A and B are shown apart, each in its own frame.
Chain A
Amino acid sequence: DTGVSQNPRHKITKRGQNVTFRCDPISEHNRLYWYRQTLGQGPEFLTYFQNEAQLEKSRLLSDRFSAERPKGSFSTLEIQRTEQGDSAMYLCASSPEGATTAYEQYFGPGTRLTVT
């Protein structure tokens, strides 16, 4: 078990550019989540996958955000036409299928995005 990994760890981009982040969950976990966290706040839910199906998407996610999990393994989160308000830590988490284990999520180290 190597844990959840995220790449890159840091990303600095100029406003208007597109960025893509990758998350590799724990291999046997079929649930995958993306969260966003700004300074001083708790993480905010963005979206959820069960295997390759995107089952829930937060209203916080504008049309500029898209997430995929093509083969039910790794996932990508893309932000198009970045804005300064997108600056945040983007966290990925995974969990195994199961009623009570859904809340026992394993988080990656996050990708810190800075939009200048």
Chain B
Amino acid sequence: LAKTTQPISMDSYEGQEVNITCSHNNIATNDYITWYQQFPSQGPRFIIQGYKTKVTNEVASLFIPADRKSSTLSLPRVSLSDTAVYYCLVGDSTGNTGKLIFGQGTTLQVKP
């Protein structure tokens, strides 16, 4: 799986929009980009997945530029409960096992 680089930590305040950028310079043509959220003492939770341009769901938006060498997870109007670790992963969708390779993730701290 392509290696990803993301900030170790970020701080924000309630009500703000948070953008977490992930670099994946070696992304391959068949790779999809997936983001997970993890709260302490819980398993990771799937947030969003995309291939190109923009994907939006009820939780977040994912922006992927044309060259796909990076992606940005956007969380609108965060609350204290969004404090968590966010992981960016990329992986091949063709004939794959779905094995996820996590990095250290970005620890987001939302302050009141």
Contacts and interface: CB of A to CB of B under 8 A. Distances in A.
Contact of A103 (B41, B42, B43, B91): B91
Interface string B75-105: 0000000000101010101101111111111
A64 to B, nearest CB: 21
A91 interface: yes
A54 to B, nearest CB: 11
B104 A42 contact: yes
A33 B97 CA distance: 10
Interface residues of B, number: 25
Interface in B10-63: 32, 34, 41-46, 49
Contacts of B46: 103-106
Interface string A81-92: 000000001011
A18 to B, nearest CB: 24
B105 to A, nearest CB: 6
Contacts of A44: 102
A89 B44 CA distance: 12
Nearest to B51: A100
Interface in A53-70: 55-56
Contacts of B49: 100, 103-104
23 contacts: A31-B97, A31-B98, A33-B99, A35-B100, A41-B102, A41-B104, A42-B103, A42-B105, A44-B102, A45-B101, A48-B97, A89-B41, A91-B44, A92-B43, A102-B98, A103-B89, A103-B93, A104-B49, A105-B46, A105-B100, A107-B42, A109-B41, A109-B42
| Minimum-distance CB pairs A-B, first 8 | A107-B43, A42-B102, A102-B98, A103-B34, A99-B93, A45-B99, A104-B46, A91-B43
Interface of B: 32, 34, 41-46, 49, 85, 87, 89, 91, 93-94, 96-105
Given A41-B102, A91-B44, 14 more contacts: A42-B103, A43-B100, A91-B43, A92-B43, A93-B43, A93-B100, A99-B94, A100-B32, A102-B96, A103-B91, A103-B93, A105-B100, A107-B42, A107-B43
